[in-house]
Amino acid sequence: MLRRLLARLTFRAPGLYNGGTRLQQSALLTTGIAFLMLALALAGVPPARAVYTSPAGGSVTMPAGAQGAATPYPSTIDVSGVNGSIVSVVVRLNGLSHTFPDDLDIVLVGPSGQAVMLMSDVGGATPITNVNLVFDATAASALPDAGPIVSGTYRPTNIGANDPMPAHPNLPAGPYGTALSVYNLTNPNGIWRLYVAEDENGSSGSLTSWQIDIVTIDLQATLASVPSSVNAGDPLDYNITVTNAGTDPVSNVTVTGTIPANTTFNQITPPGGWTCPPPASGASSFSCTAASFVVGAVTFNVRLNVDPATAPGTTLPLSATIASAIQEANTANNSSSATVTVTTSANLEIVSLTAPASINAGENVEAVVTVRNNGPSFADSASLSLPLDTDTTFVALTSPDGWNCTTPAVGETGTVTCTLPTFTLTSVEFRLTTRVKPNTAAGATIDSTATISSATTDPNAANNTRQATTSVTTRADLALTVSDEPDPVSAGAQLTYAITATNNGPSNASVVTLTTSIPTNTTFVGLDAPDGWTCTTPGVGDIGPITCTAPQVGLGNVTFTLRVRVKQGTPVGTTITLNAGIASATTDPNSANNTATGESTVTINADLSVTISADKPIIRPGETLTYTVNANNSGPEFANDVTLTMAAPTGTRFVSLQKPLGWDCTTPAVGASGAITCTTPALDVATDTFILTVTGNNVPDDITLTNTATITSPATDGNPSNNSATVTTELQVKLRVYLPLVTR
């Protein structure tokens, strides 16, 4: 019922025209319309089309019995305040009377000059009285040619030839069409003129009033709440407001919005009656549709996601367009556009930095650093700085793929720097291994620090750095080893000990003391100590303790060389034992290896032997006798202070003695007899040969010449039975004839 009431409403345009006199719209009418429109809006009923009626009291009168123009000529309606362009026009003639309708010609001229012949040469001769005619392009029928005209809805009809209309400055020249669509897409505002004329004499008529029903369309789109800038990675929120500023609801309306490059669709909140299906992945636009868009405005809330990789300064062009199947004259306001500039912001964070609470000097420290880009944007030229504590040196770094890291050399200090051209919205982990310097004092602290930065603006610099502290303790595993050379060793020989002190770490050892003592059955010869050590020893040839100290010993080993001499006469099989120990002020986690023992066994060091031979078994006085004496050392070691004795036996006279190098000999005088003694400080494992020459002496009777050679040494001799040898020679003074025995 309400909608039917609305359809019948007649609105008078401001300044109504009444027979050529413009009248002001009454306040009562204006107020009534306003309240009615409000009531309709609250009731959910769309406003009716714009309906304009000729001025009250402004009827049209045809000339009585004469050909010509009606009064007024033309009758006008002033339309104003209507939005949009015309979609359709319906013309109503109210209270039309005429004595001979076939003579009546009526032309309507719009504000833009388009003219339509509403009726001409219709109805024949049948008079009509107070007929109400509606001219609608969609009407089912035209006016009759000859039959009676009755009230109803018809298409504009021109049966006969185009009858000329009385001239008027605003009346275009004929002929005139009957299509009301000539007004479509034109501006409805302005003066509408109705020209009524009689084309023959002898008839008369009148028109009480006339009106036009105008349907317009004006769809508008506006972007609202659009920010001037947005961070890459942030959502881009804005509104699209669309308005139906026309006179009637519009069917099948579509609103389209762009999805610019570097953005993706997130969501849209449509108003009631609108459907917004999500666009396909990668789409460059989204659309919303309404089966019917009533007069008024609605707003869509749109959210796009800005790609976090978008470069700063990039512009995002936004646009919104509203359209329907109905043509509009003014499409300029169907679209709206705006541009948003992309800025960048990356909240980089050192999420965590873990390191052990305590560590021994000399041990490795692993710091685990977790770095995250909280966005919203990707970070350009990201850089992670990991300065090494001055008490540490670089060991190794494990970094994520794509990061380029520079590090100090292994064993050096400095700063680790890792860079990445583009740090995406992700979290990565670095593992930095450093070694605490072994000489770091107990109680010192190792500071592990990590700082992240980039060329992109960071909204929160407070979380860009993190630090972990590690307390330093000290541990030094000192160890001793002892080796001896030779083993076995001969009595009287020098015995050398290599005492090796090792610091296995991990820390340097402070106030280190090494102690030992000269072994039983030996005497001190000498000690070679490493640099940095101070030692106290017995005197050479003495016995007693040895103490060596160093204020600090680093990692690695040093060797002390201790030389002793085994006392002569030490029995074969005796064990020579050296005990040594080491200690320091630094905690030693393994005291079991702090002492060491070196043992050597006394054994044979030489097997001396001697042989003697004569070149003749018999000599006569005055003849030469040559002895060959071989002094031999079968080892295994050299023999020290060796003495070889022999003689120029009684009954001979000394001539000469050929001796090897290294030997000193005392002999009888030439021509005399007596003992011969030869000595050498050392006889290597070898044989030395002596050649002794004597001559036979005149003796009263035959004698036997006996020569014994003996070799001796303080060194232990494993086989003294071969240390002497004897040879005999006959010295004959009587002539002996030996005849051959003849047997018959």
pLDDT tens, 470-482? 999 999 999 999 9
d(CA 671, CA 654): 5
- Asked whether residue 8 carries a pLDDT value surpassing 80, the answer given is no
User: Where, residue-wise, is CATH 2.60.40.1530 in the chain?
Assistant: 476-601, 608-731
Report the pLDDT value the prediction gives residue 735, as an integer from 0 to 100.
63
d(CA 415, CA 423): 21
CATH fold of 2-217 reads Jelly Rolls (2.60.120)
d(CA 400, CA 369): 11
Report the pLDDT value the prediction gives residue 36, as an integer from 0 to 100.
34
Output the CATH code of domain 608-731. Answer: 2.60.40.1530
The CA distances from residue 163 to 67, 177, 197, 198, 383, in Å, are: 12, 12, 10, 10, 91
Q: Which CATH architecture has domain 219-343?
A: Sandwich (2.60)
Model confidence over 258-267: pLDDT tens digits? 999 999 999 9
Report the pLDDT value the prediction gives residue 7, as an integer from 0 to 100.
30
User: Where, residue-wise, is CATH 2.60.120.260 in the chain?
Assistant: 2-217
* Domain 349-468 classification at class level: mainly beta
φ, ψ for residue 193 (rounded to 5)? -120, 130
Q: Which two tokens stand for residue 265?
A: 């669709």
**Strand residue runs (E) in 533-638:** 534-536, 545-553, 556-566, 575-583, 595-601, 608-614, 618-619, 624-633
d(CA 706, CA 704): 6
The pLDDT-based confidence of 740 (bands split at 50, 70, 90) is low
Report the pLDDT value the prediction gives residue 636, as an integer from 0 to 100.
77
The correct CATH number of 476-601 out of 1.20.1240.10, 3.40.50.720, 3.20.19.10, 2.60.40.1530 is: 2.60.40.1530
Model confidence over 636-686: pLDDT tens digits? 777 888 999 999 999 999 999 999 999 999 999 999 999 999 999 989 899
Average pLDDT of the residues in 504-512: 96
The pLDDT-based confidence of 34 (bands split at 50, 70, 90) is very low
User: Where, residue-wise, is CATH 2.60.40.1510 in the chain?
Assistant: 219-343, 349-468
CB atoms < 10 A from the CB of 340, how many?
21
- Asked whether residue 108 carries a pLDDT value surpassing 60, the answer given is yes
